[in-house]
Structure 1
């Protein structure tokens, strides 16, 4: 499969796929080939359906996993092997519509309070303050901070899209104190090698430790800070259109999910039953 693998990787490079997506797609194709012990070039629609069914029903893999496997195989056959992909013959698994977990403002404050390392505190506060993905916060550069306009520049976010997002005054002061301690040159949050950004897993571990110290038992991840940023803005009355732009979502439909997790009391929404006796 080495030649086919290289061709698929080349095609994904041309499409501008992220490194993470390329690794995931190649792994799915590798597992598909191993399952049948044949090159994908010798396999077709029936084998693809059988494999996806096996992953979903027998191995009980998640729908999101199966959806990614579907996308990887579709790319392989359509783009690399130049074969027709008939969606009606190879149905895609329906996506799960799960609501994101969200932290309250008080819980976010507790997480910051127990994070005593200045660098770690700056990372977590910047993630929440600007609604960043973990991959975005580790790739921030010193020059991405615009203190005068209170903006933060996100270069090459998801889908390789640049955007500006909000920068809190409180976070700006924290970052200035952090800079005085660490004097980062290029990367705002460098790793052990100052010429490389901090790795994502390090930030995840920092967040996990802080959540545990804060006594929070919710099933949350560092990405929950981004969800909480959006939800808290919505509860404060910020229009979903502006939240969409700050998060870098392509569709307003993606952003509207936060309407379902917002605190209804905080948004001054109440049941019409409460007004019946007043009429």
Structure 2
């Protein structure tokens, strides 16, 4: 029984993908690893990218898998600086793990002697050689630049560190008919309510799960999203249809702390369970697209644009800092494209 393992990026998380021919014994064994998951989209089992898992699956990038004592000290200082600036826990983890990877690569070199040339070598000998994504490389670059800008004096010239070119990937969008099928297929009012709220307001998954009953302002017909991405509050309009559904939901479930709670009272609903609800909806409706919760947010923005909503308002509703981020939806909107007549029709 043979298998292969490699590092991958899955939903902005570093994971180890393990591939093998379908075998009951191997499936049973891999399920014993903590947080082992099957990706229907990638058709692989994947695990957290930890030193223990790398060793087990023989993914050893270096002779040493920990930074030097100096590197460990500097990572600790970097984490302290990020914490003092109130970066989110997920950002702190991402940046510190990225810097750790860089320091492991240069374990035998004094940090003060690291130069721009070393960054280029790292990108070529580690990032590219291991087929890691441009987005992961971008995270590494951000971490390196921020660390050397704030924590440590160095020979590095920050303005000369370049980021990789990002692939221009269009957002995935569902049709209105597909969205309607997905939202109506669940008979469970909580499941239907959560998916409907994400689409009707263009919320991120984390924003939905952080909602509290008091965030719903039924008199002003708005929802207050607190401390969203970038630590910004914003308001989104509350659909009358959604308000009616919320009242029925509240009567049935009477949530205490969070608007949507899991099995334990007072604790927010689990993000993975919510994603599973969407997958069940896709199965029941027969929709073959590998849709995620974020597809509902993309669909909300695209459908608003197609109905004539000004791009500036969509930017505010989505909470985008830059209009350039919102402009990507103009590339997937079919309103004007469908009106273009192909020259083939005149042949």
Match of 1:220 in 2: 291
- Per-residue deviation, 1:82: 3.6
> Does structure 1 residue 7 correspond to structure 2 residue 63?
no
Q: State the Cα deviation string for residues 178-222 of structure 1 (Å, max 9, x = none).
A: 111110122101233323222322222222222222222223211
Q: Distance in 2 between the 1:166 and 1:82 partners? A: 48
Inter-partner Cα distance in structure 2 for 1:20 and 1:26: 10
Partner SS state of residue 250, structure 1: coil
Which structure dedicates a bigger proportion of its chain to helix?
1
Write 1 or 2 for the structure with the bigger share of strand. Answer: 2
Q: Report what 1:253 is aligned to.
A: 324
Which residue does 2:340 correspond to in 1? 271
Partner residue in 1 for 2:102: 32
Larger mean Cα displacement after TM superposition, 195-204 or 222-231: 195-204
Q: Secondary structure at the match of 1:165?
A: strand
Normalised to the residue count of structure 2, the TM-score between the two structures is: 0.73
Larger RCO (CA under 8 A, 6+ residues apart): 1
Deviations 1:80-99 (A, max 9, x none): 22436424543211122111
Moved more, 139-148 or 200-209: 200-209
Matched, 1:240 2:240: no
Q: Tell me, yes or no, if the aligned pair for 1:26 and 1:72 is still in contact at 8 Å.
A: yes
Change (3 A) 1:140 1:40: farther
Structure 2 residue 245 is the aligned partner of structure 1 residue 174: yes
The equivalences for 1:114-263 within 5 A come to: 114-263=185-334
Kindly report which structure 2 residues correspond to 1:95-114, keeping only aligned pairs within 5 A, or say none. 95-114=166-185
How far has the Cα of 1:2 moved from its partner? Answer: 3.8
CA contact (8 A) 2:223 2:237 kept: yes
Q: Which residue of 2 aligns with 1:18?
A: 88
Q: Is the CA contact (8 Å cut-off) linking 2:114 and 2:155 kept in structure 1?
A: no
Gaps of 5+ in 2: 1-70
Query: TM-score scaled by structure 1?
Result: 0.90
> Could you say which residue in structure 1 is the equivalent of 2:19?
none
Q: Within 2, Cα distance between the matches of 1:54 and 1:118?
A: 52
Q: Is the CA contact 1:66–1:93 (under 8 Å) kept in the aligned structure 2?
A: yes
Other structure's SS at 2:227 match: coil
Bigger mean CA deviation after superposition, 146-155 or 74-83: 74-83
Secondary structure of the equivalent of 1:156? strand
- Where 1:218 maps in the other structure, the secondary structure is coil
